[in-house]
Amino acid sequence: MISAKKHNKSQKRFSLNKVFTSAFSVLFLIFLSLTISVYYQLNTFRAALESSLLDSIPTIISFDSIANRSERLVFYTEKLSTADSHPALRIANKKIQSELNQIEEQLRAAKLDEVVLKEYEAIKFELDELDDLVTLRLETNQKASDVERKLYALFDEAKALSATISKATGTSSSSWFEEFSQLTIMSANLMSADKLNQIRKSSQKIRNKYAYIQTIQPAYLGERLSTLNADFQDIVLGEQGLINLRVKQLRIKGRTTGRGNFTEKLVSDFARALNFKSAVINKKILANAQNEKETIDLQIRLLGFFVFICIVLFGFIAWQLRQRVIVRLIGLNNYVSQFDRKFLNTKLKDEISDIALTFDSYVDTIEQQKKELSQLAMQDGLTKIANRRAFDKLFLNTFDLAKRNKQALSILLIDVDFFKMYNDEYGHIKGDEALIAVATTLKQSLKREVDLIARYGGEEFVCLLPNCDHEGACKVAEDLRLAIETLKEPHKSSSVAEHITISIGGATIRNTEVSSISPQFMLKEADIALYRVKSKGRNAVQVSRL
């Protein structure tokens, strides 16, 4: 015993404080040297990186983004130039204006040179001109359509005049009317001509035919025929007649097509120019990145040496920690895990007794908190009834039980009528109070302990009725509806009643049908029933029998 004590005294004492302080001091010095070196190199790298991140890369991103929007602008420009109605024109203009606003915003943010801005202004000018041409084309098309309708109306008038005179005089005017019909057809065919040369040739034929008809027209038609000829002259041959309108149409169409193609090419060139500038900047960034990579490679080799030293030192510290701390803590943990009040006497009132009592207190507190958290996880925070999670869990269990025992099962989906309007009228605080009142009333109205009422979401509730057939479900649903109606909670914005009401849709499966129906299908059918109730006026009940 004495020799053991002498041996212990002869051993040199190594304090944990000294061992780990020395080791971490050396480690700190290494890391400090490493940090200073890395900081110096990173500072150099940061300057180059900031130049890329703050200038080059944002510019590339802006160029690419503007180029992409310009490509979409080409598509919408084509839609504008080919618009065949005013709604289509408005839609194309709306899309174009949206893209222009985005491009303009990005141009301002990118702070691009004057050349790019002038190109953009030229695009805007051409788009405005194109819009004016398309508008003029549509207006001219509308005028041509109106004139065409007048031509057909004039033909009907000539037909009626021919029939009236034939009936009154007993003579036939078929030769004149046939020629007039051919003249009308020739005039109407102008609408399908797509070349100016065709229109000029057809125009001459129409004038010749018109002159010929005047030589064969019945003399007894008198003033009515003169009026008819004057109307034809105005509709077809006049300054605003069909011939001139068709010529104007084709000219405007050609100008529109040319302007559209030019504008599309202008936008495409604008996008390509931005892509080219983006590529130039990107090439410059890649060259700088290559130079920085070579510098970083050198730094990595230097860091590798320091990392090796650090790993060795970390290994030494880890070994010391394991031998002098962790192994001993494991032994202490094994001792604590075998803790027993009968073994550790807490009546001694010492530090160990305090630790034992503290462990007991912590264990009791944790168990209590686990119970409270379990309850909170299954309870709706506002209404204090079961929540969606509790319902889903119980519904699946109850469904499986009904399937095994071949029992009936019913569910009811409950929706507070016009609750959004209630919130708008009375405020969300009053709305929360109303939900609490509805939930409390629904829960109190259930007769059986096995029945469950839960908040399904928002102003929706769900009721689970195990071993309950269709007749029972209908009765429960009606009792719940009457219970809420009895509350007489004011609801001025409701179109059903002056107080809060509920709509209920449900589904019941019979004991012979359970095995062929899924829980999801049952919920879907209940939701469909609720939708039908709401579509028929609300404040009612409908339970589907599956």
Q: What is the pLDDT of residues 379-399, one digit of tens each?
A: 998 999 999 999 999 999 999
Question: Per-residue pLDDT averaged across 310-320, rounded?
Answer: 77
Tell me: pLDDT of 342 over 50: no
Same domain, 215 and 156: yes
Task: Yes or no: say if 45 and 339 are a contact pair by the CB < 8 Å rule.
Answer: no
Question: Per-residue pLDDT averaged across 216-233, rounded?
Answer: 71
Question: Per-residue pLDDT averaged across 208-216, rounded?
Answer: 78
Looking at 215, 245, 275, the residue that finishes a domain is 245
Same domain, 362 and 438: no
Rounded CA-CA distance 289/281 in Å is 12
Rounded CA-CA distance 546/541 in Å is 16
Question: Per-residue pLDDT averaged across 456-470, rounded?
Answer: 94
Task: Yes or no: say if 539 and 501 are a contact pair by the CB < 8 Å rule.
Answer: yes
Same domain, 368 and 461: no
Residue % of the chain over a pLDDT of 90: 27
**Residue 537's pLDDT band (cuts 50, 70, 90):** very high
Same domain, 410 and 539: yes
Tell me: pLDDT of 254 over 70: yes
348-363 per-position pLDDT tens digit? 454 444 555 565 565 5
**Residue 174's pLDDT band (cuts 50, 70, 90):** low
Helices and strands (H, E) in the chain, number of each type: 16, 5
**Residue 97's pLDDT band (cuts 50, 70, 90):** confident
- Name the residue with higher pLDDT: 390 or 119: 390
Looking at 245, 279, 312, the residue that finishes a domain is 245
- The mean pLDDT of the chain is 79
Angle at alpha carbon of residue 47, lines to 46 and 49, rounded to 5°: 60
Residue % of the chain over a pLDDT of 70: 78
Question: Per-residue pLDDT averaged across 207-221, rounded?
Answer: 73
Of 2-16, 250-264, 267-281, 318-332, which one has max mean pLDDT?
A: 250-264
Same domain, 451 and 534: yes
Same domain, 400 and 531: yes
Tell me: pLDDT of 173 over 60: no
Q: What is the dihedral of CA 46, 49, 50, 51, to 10 degrees?
A: 130
Tell me, yes or no, whether 444 lies in a domain.
Answer: yes
Tell me: pLDDT of 2 over 60: no
At 160 the pLDDT is 78
Q: What are the φ/ψ torsions at residue 457 (nearest 5 degrees)? A: 145, 130
Q: Extract the tokens encoding 526.
A: 């209940």
**Residue 338's pLDDT band (cuts 50, 70, 90):** low
Minimum mean pLDDT range among 96-105, 208-217, 332-341, 479-488: 332-341
What is the CATH classification number for the domain harbouring 472? 3.30.70.270
At 328 the pLDDT is 58
Tell me, yes or no, whether 412 lies in a domain.
Answer: yes
Tell me, yes or no, whether 8 lies in a domain.
Answer: no
Number of domains composing the chain: 3
- Name the residue with higher pLDDT: 326 or 99: 99
At 166 the pLDDT is 66
Residues in the chain, total:
546
| pTM assigned to the model | 0.42
At 4 the pLDDT is 42
Q: Give the domain extent around 409.
A: 388-545
Same domain, 347 and 392: no
**Residue 208's pLDDT band (cuts 50, 70, 90):** confident
**Residue 112's pLDDT band (cuts 50, 70, 90):** low
Tell me, yes or no, whether 505 lies in a domain.
Answer: yes
Tell me, yes or no, whether 102 lies in a domain.
Answer: no
Enumerate residues 6+ apart whose C-beta is below 8 A from 226.
Answer: none
**Residue 109's pLDDT band (cuts 50, 70, 90):** confident
At 129 the pLDDT is 84
Tell me, yes or no, whether 326 lies in a domain.
Answer: no
Tell me, yes or no, whether 266 lies in a domain.
Answer: no
At 243 the pLDDT is 81
Same domain, 350 and 481: no
Same domain, 368 and 501: no
502-523 per-position pLDDT tens digit? 999 999 998 656 567 889 999 9
Rounded CA-CA distance 522/510 in Å is 12
Cα dist from 204 to 154, 179, 187, 207, whole Å: 21, 16, 11, 5
Tell me: pLDDT of 329 over 60: no
Judge residue 281's burial from the number of C-beta atoms within 10 Å of its C-beta, 0-12 exposed, 13-18 middle, 19 or more buried. middle
Tell me, yes or no, whether 90 lies in a domain.
Answer: no
At 255 the pLDDT is 83
Q: Could you count the other beta carbons within 10 Å of the beta carbon of residue 514?
A: 21
At 422 the pLDDT is 95
Same domain, 428 and 541: yes
Tell me: pLDDT of 425 over 70: yes
Same domain, 535 and 394: yes
Same domain, 520 and 392: yes
Question: Per-residue pLDDT averaged across 221-234, rounded?
Answer: 74
